[in-house]
């Protein structure tokens, strides 16, 4: 059995997935906004372009996500990515890309 990760994003799911796809050399499989579904008629106009569901694959990793209203998502102070790679230089390059984008900081 393989577990898949589902991430609720605070209104920036599309931008986050574009970044992850580039940083992890992944493929965005699905990116559906509220307005592309019948649910679009039932959300505020400013929310219609927000992502209802997105999926991405990167190697054997599968990530799912959606935008969540601010009042329904908790702000996290930190997160971590764990890599099991044979080639340290590839891992270091990915970390540099995350740091450059402001998505990763060492303390």
Residue/partner pairs of 38-44 with CB below 8 Å, 24 or more apart: none
In the chain the domains, ranked by start, together with CATH numbers, are 5-71 (3.30.720.100), 76-107 (no CATH)
Of the candidates 31, 3, 5, the residue with the CA atom closest to the CA atom of residue 17: 31
> Can you give the pLDDT at residue 13?
92
Per-residue pLDDT of the chain (107 residues; tens, 9 = 90+): 566 788 888 889 999 999 999 998 999 999 999 999 988 888 889 899 999 999 999 888 889 899 987 665 565 554 444 444 454 555 566 667 766 665 544 43
What pLDDT sits at residue 39?
A: 83
Q: What is the pLDDT of residue 106?
A: 44
pLDDT at 80: 44
pLDDT at 102: 57
Q: Is the whole model's pTM more than 0.75, yes or no?
A: no
| Closest residue by Cα to residue 4 from 40, 51, 46, 56 | 56
């Amino acid at each position: 059995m393989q577990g898949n990760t589902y991430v609720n994003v605070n209104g920036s799911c599309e931008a986050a997935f574009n970044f992850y796809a580039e940083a992890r050399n992944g493929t965005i499989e699905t990116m559906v906004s509220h307005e592309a579904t019948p649910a679009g008629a039932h959300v505020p106009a400013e929310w219609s372009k927000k992502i209802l569901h997105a999926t991405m694959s990167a190697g054997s990793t599968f990530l799912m996500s959606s935008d969540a209203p601010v009042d329904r998502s908790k702000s996290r102070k930190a997160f971590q990515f764990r890599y099991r790679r044979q080639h340290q230089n590839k891992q270091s390059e990915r970390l540099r890309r995350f740091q450059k984008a402001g998505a990763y900081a060492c303390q």
